[in-house]
Structure 1
Amino acid sequence: MRSQDYDRLFLSPPHLGRHELNYLHKAIEDNWVAPAGPNLDGFERDICEFTGAQHCVALTSGTAAIHLGLRLLGVGPGDEVLCPSFTFVATANPILYLGATPVFIDSEAETWNICPQRLREALEELRRQNRRPKALILVHLYGMPARLREVLAIAAEFEVPVLEDAAEALGSRYEGQPLGTFGQVGVFSFNGNKILTTSGGGALVTNTSDWARKTRFWATQAKDVAPYYQHSELGYNYRLSNLLAGIGRGQMELLEDRVKKRREIFAWYQKHLANIPGLRFGPTEPAGGRSNRWLTTLLLDPEETSVTPEQLRLHLETHNIESRPLWKPLHQQPLFAATPVFGGSISADLFARGLCLPSGTAMIDADLQRVSSAIRALFEAS
């Protein structure tokens, strides 16, 4: 079958309902088309109500939220920030924005998130050198909760504040508590491929009112209180549009259904592809963790199958199906070639063996069957 015979199945496309139009129409009717207005205020309240965070600041991207969150934690030139290597580059780029240096930590093989053992090794080694990291960025990759109890205990022991990168994890929980609310600062992304989208956008959450006020101040060009434009601090144009916040309000009404659907998609793939030798799904939920399963991801074992992730990706392309390798570890990126890393073999192995499958919440059974049939065809021919 030729690829052009089918509409393309994307990895994680936006999925809008009718709810979003209500908020957009109201904003346009009332002429609220600026980075301020009722949708923006309401969207921030919605996020607080869903997560339990006391304060939320909606921003132009999750990257902007990480940038401002690190600044809240006092990160500046010459500082070091601990960061998982197995993540998207947006996690680490803001460290460089601030003139600081990342120190990469390897993953553990179950949740694929930061390894507590490697984290402890890094902190002990840095302490022997009289170096104290300014912050730890804790990522919940693919919506999977990290081993929070262990990681947070280690961070507290070494007195390192935590910025929780839950960009991919809105709707995920750990011991019943929403992710994004365990660190001193939490971050979400509403990019077009996320489980909730505002087209482009992000948010910072915190329980510290002064930090929320400071974030809003920095995000609106740090304008001092004056009848003219006066600036005593460096600011940014990071505030989310009231229009885009309206999309977010409509999406928030659907969030629980979207999480349910993503988990169903993961379970469907797992059931229908369970008996293929050398193919397994991951990552694994930790005790007490519940993932939103933002993307369904798999690993191929070269000892059990000759099929490689790249062969599978190219094969799916012939069926007009998008798939994607797992994140390439940051310690393997040219941008960070000279950056220190503790461990690295687990994340490198995951990258070499993994692939993300289409996981959009608008998928129907026929779409899932199309993906699984294409996968089976390749393995049967190998």
Structure 2
Amino acid sequence: MKERIWLSPPDITGKELDYIKDAFSSNWIAPIGPHLNKFEETFESLLGHNKYTVALNSGTAAIHIALRLLNVGNDDEVICQTKTFIGSVNPVLYVGAKPIFVDSELESWNMCPELLDNAIKDRLQKTGKLPKAIIMVCIYGMPYKVEDIHAVAESYGIPVIEDSAEALGSTYNNRQCGTFGDMSIFSFNGNKIITTSGGGLLIVNSEAEKTEAIKLSTQYNSNPKDYTHDKIGYNYRLSNVLAGIGLGQLEQLDEKVAKKQNNYKAYRDAFEEIEAIHLQPELKGSFSNRWLNCILVDSAKSKSELMQLFEDNNIEVKSAWKPMHLQPVFKDYPNYTNGISEDLYNRGICLPSGTSLSEEDLNRITNLVTNYYQC
């Protein structure tokens, strides 16, 4: 059998080992250190717009800290995109709040602004108060309807947490994703466009918020000299060693985005004449890093058969995200749906999208699909 093609494996091809060796040789293997500082500073320069960053051990931790900074707590409600990975939603439960799920639109597969507005009005009528925050996702690296979503949020005075876990390198109107939210996050999990093995980044708008986030992510030690703790904190800080991996990865970001784009173009060109297949659309003004390439096929039956065909040929694919309102753990929470996220789940397949895919790999993948529809 041919060598396995993975969905989105890490691609370690730069100076990561040099940074790791430097951390070991200088004995900076503690959670703090020069690589960590440089990693945050590099991101602040990359993002611009007077942003401040805090490197953490996961994107999920970054959402958790963002919710804490916004004082979301018991009996509050947080609007969440139902079409997402569960890591976007779990932190809402961590702080004792209630997730409210809102469905997608077809132009980007992200949260529908009209449904968002309807959901806010309905929650206000039913509970007498507004949701405390909105967690807005760039699914598969695709920017959402920024102007429309933020216009709704601003009309009610609700802060937006921009979950750009998958969208590093994506832009909207030439502005980096991760800079639109009142707070934003990235993920550097092993399958993301750059990785620190495990890691994430919180993006805030002031030095005071950064200082508070660092305290919250380091057990809220207000006075390190005598271990005074004023609030409950967490052990969420990224280590100096892992930040070194991230620095090596960041040096290759443009190259990695270009490779992701090459994968997308290969799929687009191969499936262009197959009416049964549609790739994720892109809004005018958007540039997606195409972190994962998800295709919609003509039926749930075709999806099932194709996924089995891929597995039989030693190619890893995954289903499109199962909507959160269909998850057993969230079955009792309110949802505002239009059927789009369920259809995307029923017919969606995420294809291999790694930056190390060869032309031969891409041909193996696309030939399976085209031969299936030609039979």
Q: Which residue of 2 aligns with 1:68?
A: 65
Q: Which residue of 2 aligns with 1:51?
A: 47
Cα separation, 2, equivalents of 1:104 and 1:66: 16
Cα separation, 1, equivalents of 2:255 and 2:262: 10
Whether the 8 Å contact between 1:307 and 1:379 is mirrored in structure 2 is no
CA shift in 2, pair 1:307/1:348, >3 Å: closer
Structure 1 residue 77, shift from structure 2 partner: 0.6
Q: Which residue of 2 aligns with 1:347?
A: 341
Secondary structure of residue in 2 paired with 1:103: strand
Structure 1 residue 378, shift from structure 2 partner: 2.3
Q: Which residue of 2 aligns with 1:172?
A: 170
Cα separation, 2, equivalents of 1:123 and 1:273: 39
Give a deviation string over 1:319-376, Cα, whole Å, max 9, x none: 1000000000000000001010011411011100100000100111011001111222
Q: Equivalent of 1:290, from 267, 271, 287?
A: 287
Structural mapping, 1:187-266, within 5 Å: 187-266=185-264
Cα separation, 2, equivalents of 1:277 and 1:174: 29
Q: Equivalent of 1:135, from 133, 152, 157?
A: 133
Cα separation, 1, equivalents of 2:17 and 2:350: 31
Give a deviation string over 1:204-244, Cα, whole Å, max 9, x none: 01121111100100111111215222212101000001110
Q: Which residue of 2 aligns with 1:98?
A: 95
Q: Which residue of 2 aligns with 1:300?
A: 297
Cα separation, 2, equivalents of 1:128 and 1:38: 51
Cα separation, 2, equivalents of 1:212 and 1:230: 19
Structure 1 residue 264, shift from structure 2 partner: 1.4
Cα separation, 2, equivalents of 1:345 and 1:226: 52
Whether the 8 Å contact between 1:331 and 1:344 is mirrored in structure 2 is no
Whether the 8 Å contact between 1:54 and 1:206 is mirrored in structure 2 is yes
Cα separation, 1, equivalents of 2:188 and 2:214: 18
Whether the 8 Å contact between 1:85 and 1:344 is mirrored in structure 2 is no
Cα separation, 2, equivalents of 1:227 and 1:32: 20
Instruction: Find out whether 1:8 has 2:14 as its counterpart.
Output: no
Give the AA of the match of 2:11. H
Cα separation, 1, equivalents of 2:4 and 2:226: 52
Structure 1 residue 49, shift from structure 2 partner: 1.3
Secondary structure of residue in 2 paired with 1:308: helix
Secondary structure of residue in 1 paired with 2:157: coil
Q: Which residue of 1 aligns with 2:370?
A: 376
Give a deviation string over 1:164-222, Cα, whole Å, max 9, x none: 00000010001111011111101000000000100000000112111110010011111
Instruction: Find out whether 1:324 has 2:324 as its counterpart.
Output: no
Secondary structure of residue in 2 paired with 1:224: strand
Residue identity over aligned pairs, in percent, reads 44
Q: How many residues end up aligned between the 2 structures?
A: 373
Secondary structure of residue in 2 paired with 1:128: helix
CA shift in 2, pair 1:356/1:226, >3 Å: closer
Instruction: Find out whether 1:117 has 2:111 as its counterpart.
Output: no
Structure 1 residue 277, shift from structure 2 partner: 3.5
Whether the 8 Å contact between 2:67 and 2:92 is mirrored in structure 1 is yes
Give the AA of the match of 1:96. L
Whether the 8 Å contact between 1:59 and 1:65 is mirrored in structure 2 is yes
Instruction: Find out whether 1:38 has 2:7 as its counterpart.
Output: no
Q: Equivalent of 1:163, from 155, 161, 164?
A: 161
Structure 1: 5+ residue stretches without partners: none
Secondary structure of residue in 1 paired with 2:7: coil
Structure 1 residue 377, shift from structure 2 partner: 2.6
Give the AA of the match of 2:340. I
Cα separation, 2, equivalents of 1:379 and 1:7: 24
CA-atom RMSD, angstroms?
1.1
Cα separation, 2, equivalents of 1:298 and 1:110: 14
Give the AA of the match of 2:186. F
Whether the 8 Å contact between 1:186 and 1:205 is mirrored in structure 2 is yes
Cα separation, 2, equivalents of 1:293 and 1:49: 23
Cα separation, 2, equivalents of 1:10 and 1:344: 33
Give TM-score, length-normalised by structure 1: 0.96
Whether the 8 Å contact between 1:137 and 1:165 is mirrored in structure 2 is yes
Cα separation, 1, equivalents of 2:252 and 2:240: 19
